[in-house]
Structures are given as C-alpha cells and as structure tokens.
Amino acid sequence: MPLEEAFQLLCGDEEAPTTDDGRPCEASSQPNQPITSPEESATSNNNNAGNSTTSQKKSDPRTPRRPFPEIIMESTSQYGQSAISQETALGDEPTSSHPRKRPFKVPLEEEGIEFETEQFVNHPWSHLLAPKIRPKISPYYDPELPASKFERITAAGYSRLSPFIEHSGAYTSKGRPASILEAVGPQAIESFRQRHSYLDLYQTRIEGREFPPLAPAEKASAREMLSYVRGLRLHKGIHPVLYRVKSLFGTGARLESVHMEVPLPDRIDLHTVMLDQFSVNILTGKHRIDVFHILIGDLVWVYTLLPSTKFMREGLPYPETIEEASHHRKPTIWRVDEFALVHRDLIETLGYIVSVTSQAQQSFQICMKGHRTLVTVNSNRLDPDVEFARLRANTFITADFRPRQLDYMLFACTPKANAFNELRECMADLQYFPSPPPAPSGIRPTSQTHQQQSPSTAPP
C-alpha cells in the first residue's frame, strides 16, 4: 500500500499533505499537534538554534523519515488475551523486516503487576534467606521433578551441592504452570514448625499428660485410597508443606522433607515422618493407604502431625543427626495425621525380567527403561490378572511408571547476596542418604506377538 493511501486511512478523507516539490510533509511526534508549513518549520529551527547536536540531526530535512506519527499493531498473546504493542516510528529503525516478526511484548495489563512477597521472621536462617513470592492457591502446578533436570548429587553429598533453585518469579495459571516447589513459602514452613513443637510434645510426655487422640475416621475403599489432589489446596485454613516418599515398609511409607527450612537447622525431628494406615486423606476424610500403588519419589502434602506410638509409650529419644532421623529401620517421632497425595503423570514404560530370585517369596528382579538400576520386587507389584508362575527370565514387561524423581532437599528461598557462603558452611556436615530405586506397580508381560518378535525371548 502506498504511504499516501495509508495516511488517508489513518486521517480520514483528508488528502495527505505534501511540500512544494511533491514530497510528503514530515509528521509531528505528537499526534494532536497540527502539521506546520515549511516556513514555520524554518522559523522554529532558528529559534531552537541552541539545541544539542542530536536535536539538530533529527530536524535535518534530508534525514529519511516515515510519514506516520505512530504505527499501532494488534496481536494475540500466548495467554489468549489481546495485546497491543505501540511503536514510535519517527527516527527509529525497525528491528526486523516484517512488523509481525518483532519479539513478543508482555501484555500491557501485566506490565505493572507487583506480586506480594513473604519472608521468614522467626526462622534461625531468616537473616540469610531472601523474600519469596507468596504462593497462589491453584490447581495448576507442575508436580514432576525429574532428577535429570536438577544438579546431580555425588557421594560427597550436600557439601559439593548447591541446592538453590532459580524461582520463576511469576504466578501459575493453566497456560503457564509453575513448579510445585513454588507452592511452599516461608509462612507455611514457619507455621508448620510452630504448630508441631517438639518442646511441647516432650513436656507432655514427662508430665504424664494425655496426648491428643486420633480423630475418628472411616476406612477408605480401594478406589478412595487412590484419591489425588492437583496443585495446592488448603484444608481448614492450613497451608501444607511438601514431603516426598523416601522408602516403603510393610503397610506404610517414610516421608522426607522436600525443603531444607523445615527440619534445619534445629528441627531434625521433622526431617522424616511416617505415613501409616491411620493417616487421614483430606479428600475423602477416611484413613488407609495403598502402599502398592505408591512410588518412591511421590510427593505428599502434609497438613498436620501427631506423635508416634514409639514416642508416647517407649520414650523414643530425639535424633541427634540426619543419619538417625532418616534411618529406614528406626521409628520416627512424628506420624502424619492429615495428608493429600499429589497427582502424578504415569506413562507406559517398557522393561524386562532379569531373573526370578525366589519362587517361595515370589520375588523377581526387573530393569525398567530409563532407570539404570536393578530392582527386586514381589508379586504384589504385579497386575491382578498376571500369575507369578508364568513369569520367566528375559521376558519383556510393561508397567505404568515415570522417570526417577528428585532425591535430595532444596531451599525454598534463595540466599541473600552476602549469605551464600554462610549457608554453604551450614551444609558442609549435612549427610545425604539416597533412596532405594523405585519399583512400578501393575507389572504385566507384553503381548505374545512382541515376545515372539524379540530374539531374547523367542522359544528355542
């Protein structure tokens, strides 16, 4: 489209003004200012002779300029809203040959957003940790924490690790889900530590007073035991904290804190807690869990805790080190009272049976794709329609599984500029104990056609 026709579209039915030699008049940088004649422009330039050299270059009539005072183009943002980006054309060079290929600009309604922050007040490390954006109650949080996306921890443990993550600094939405690590803030951690005071618990025991009883709850059905929550949800106004499944035992699971600020530096008793058959799921209001459908690395929202039976009746001592707190054969001081399982996304994963280790105990060793470890599982991990007697070595199997998840603690807040070295010194003696490799559930052999096409499983 010629420039003169485009100017008429912006200005109406008026003709585009031209100079004596037929060239379009220079437009003013202010849309409401009338266009002056060449004589008035010359008079104005004489009056402004004391301006800087930069101003003189801009007023030079030989400088090529576009006749449009402004170019306004409308585009659709990635959030599904209409975003308008405005560009001043006078004296500016285009950033690309086509205006549609310009870098995306943040919608104008989001430019001035100021997020509320919160910070630690009573925590021993409050002077070392920076504020954090207040978490938003939302179902749109990404619960996947694959270990491949985080720094690899070595045998040296936390002494050679930087467990600080770079926070997104934005809210979570359906089109832009944030990591579930963003859903826990300083206020939730401090409230959790204060509500579960070990000193009050110890005082109750030495004085011989009654501990709070278990709340009456019905027994959950097999379907209700698989109830999961998406994102972050409050329960009775309580903001939960994140724990991860560290190991499984019998009919329960041991949970380890995801964030360091929960047990450290002075609450080692909160490092590991126990999830048992009397813990109540907030989604159903009933107790009972299905251990055979829980994977190591699964995330659990923990709302409230109660003292364990070992602490109330047998005088379990306070753990002095992380090793004592996380030992898989030692009882814990706390057990989970109210919780919610965080929803996880499982995909069908291929694997194979390495060997049948015990016919009496119905155990066999498997290796799953994406996991470079061998895992020994029992028949309780099989699909209900699969018979253990039909399993053979070098048989391909499939199961609903996912990559190995993050296996060590992280800081919920980033350190202040001058506090990084001090926090690293606090972690120098912090021990790390890896979790056992996860085992899938619902294991079943692949189809007969696939077994026949695989040379390793073909009959002799």
For residue 300, which of 273, 333, 329, 332 has the smallest C-alpha distance? Answer: 273
The arithmetic mean of pLDDT across residues 408-417, rounded, is 92
Per-residue pLDDT, 23: 55
Per mean pLDDT, which of 36-40, 45-49, 87-91, 355-359 is the most reliable? 355-359
* Residue 315: alpha-carbon gap to chain centroid: 38
Of residues 401 and 51, more confidence is placed in 401
Task: Give the start-end residues of each E strand in 99-168.
Answer: 117-118, 132-133, 141-142
Secondary structure of 370-433 as H, E, C letters:
CCCCCEEEEHHHECCCCCHHHCCCCCEEEEEECCCECCCCECCCCECCCCHHHHHHHCCCCCCC
Cα separation of 269 and 184, whole Å? 20
Q: Which two tokens stand for residue 41?
A: 């422009």
Per-residue pLDDT, 232: 95
Per-residue pLDDT, 413: 94
Cα separation of 356 and 115, whole Å? 56
Per-residue pLDDT, 1: 54
The answer to whether residue 452 scores a pLDDT higher than 90 is no
Alpha helices (H) along 318-357: 322-326
The answer to whether residue 259 scores a pLDDT higher than 60 is yes
- Confidence class for position 154, pLDDT limits 50, 70, 90: confident
Per-residue pLDDT, 161: 80
Domains of the chain: residue spans and CATH: 3-90 (no CATH), 118-345+407-426 (no CATH), 347-401+438-453 (2.40.50)
Q: Which two tokens stand for residue 282?
A: 């907030």
Backbone angles phi, psi at 161, to 5 degrees: -120, 150
Average pLDDT over the chain, rounded to an integer: 79
The answer to whether residue 22 scores a pLDDT higher than 60 is no
Per-residue pLDDT, 204: 94
Percent of the chain with pLDDT over 90: 54
Q: Which two tokens stand for residue 14?
A: 């008026």
- Confidence class for position 98, pLDDT limits 50, 70, 90: very low
Longest CA span, the chain: 106
Residue carrying the six token digits 């101003």 = 55
Out of 326-330, 331-335, 336-340, pick the least confident.
326-330
The answer to whether residue 20 scores a pLDDT higher than 70 is no
Residue carrying the six token digits 């470079």 = 372
Torsion (CA) 298, 260, 175, 229 in degrees, nearest 10: 40
Per-residue pLDDT, 366: 95
Q: With beta carbons less than 8 A apart as the criterion, state whether 161 and 151 touch.
A: yes
The answer to whether residue 331 scores a pLDDT higher than 80 is yes
Torsion (CA) 289, 295, 296, 302 in degrees, nearest 10: -40
Residue carrying the six token digits 């995330």 = 299
Per-residue pLDDT, 390: 87
Torsion (CA) 446, 452, 453, 459 in degrees, nearest 10: 130
Q: Under the phi-then-psi rule, with left for phi > 0, alpha for psi from -120 to 50, and beta for the rest, what region is 6?
A: alpha
Per-residue pLDDT, 121: 95
Cα separation of 102 and 104, whole Å? 6
Q: Which amino acid, 385?
A: D
The arithmetic mean of pLDDT across residues 23-40, rounded, is 47
The distance in angstroms from the start CA to the end CA of the chain is 77
The answer to whether residue 255 scores a pLDDT higher than 70 is yes
